[in-house]
Amino acid sequence: MSRIVVITGCSAGLGIAIAVQAARGGNTVYATMRDPGKADALQQAAAAAQVSLHILPMDVADTASVNACVDEILVREGRIDVLINNAGSGFVRSTEQASEEDIAWIMNVNFMGVVRTTKAVIASMRRARAGHIINITSVGGLVGQPFNEVYCASKFAVEGYTESLAAYVQPSFGIRFTAVEPGGIRSEFANAALAHVAATGGMLEDEYLPIIQKYLGGARARGDTAYQTCDQVAEVVIRCMESDNPPVRTRTSDWAEDFCRLKTDADPDGLKLQKQVVEMFLGG
């Protein structure tokens, strides 16, 4: 079945991989990004895969930009079947070292960006009694990690947001919700996070320095086992999109599964908890 698919954050990495794979599956793909002037990598990937897609501007940190993009797609297509919230940013900095501006920025992009796009599409999906919203979160949305507390907080927020919507919007209106939880991804995501640290004062010479050096050394050592390619993660996203009974949450690799096992073993896909919450709060 061909779907109208909207994807955020398509200027690099995972967004490109999802957009190309979705288009390869015969879907009508709207690949969005804050700055369409940075679409070269996406266009090259689409040409190499011999697929066509639409590129539109959408800044998830700007409500007017989100609404304008979604409205344009609805005018063109009459519906949106799938929203994939991929746009986001990493952040590596201790709470003591992080400014309030940095914290507000990461929460605005990673969490409020998901809320804005969801709010923009959900009314049309509700009227259609169909749709699927897939939020790219992280194992950091399930397990807190050193120096990632602000980033993890933003992803924990998306996890709670996704679970809550799945508890009442899905059974009432047929809109499905899934949180996709990768471990590490071999892309520019981590480099961009470290570049932001460098641009905001670098690694400070304080008591945290030897701890973060140990953390970064461990991250490099885990690279061969923990990190996936963008295409591997995108394959999981596409499987969720095409599933008749998609999970509420899913990890994307064996490493991610093992890392989160203490929190997910009893209910790996989140469907049992979803059923329990619906029954407890809405009477089944």
CATH number of the domain where residue 145 is located: 3.40.50.720
* pTM score: 0.92
Q: In which residue are the tokens 């799938």 written?
A: 82
Find the length of the chain: 284
Please report whether residue 163 resides in a domain.
yes
Residues known to be catalytic:
151
pLDDT in tens, 139-181: 999 999 999 999 999 999 999 999 999 999 999 999 999 999 9
Please report whether residue 23 resides in a domain.
yes
pLDDT in tens, 203-251: 666 788 888 888 877 766 665 666 899 999 999 999 999 999 999 999 9
The answer to whether 70 touches 6, Cβ cutoff 8 Å, is: yes
- Tokens of residue 207, six digits: 């008591």
The domain in which residue 48 lies consists of: 4-276
Please report whether residue 282 resides in a domain.
no
Could you tell me which of 149, 161, 41, 42 has the C-alpha nearest to residue 111? 161
- Tokens of residue 43, six digits: 């266009």
Please report whether residue 284 resides in a domain.
no
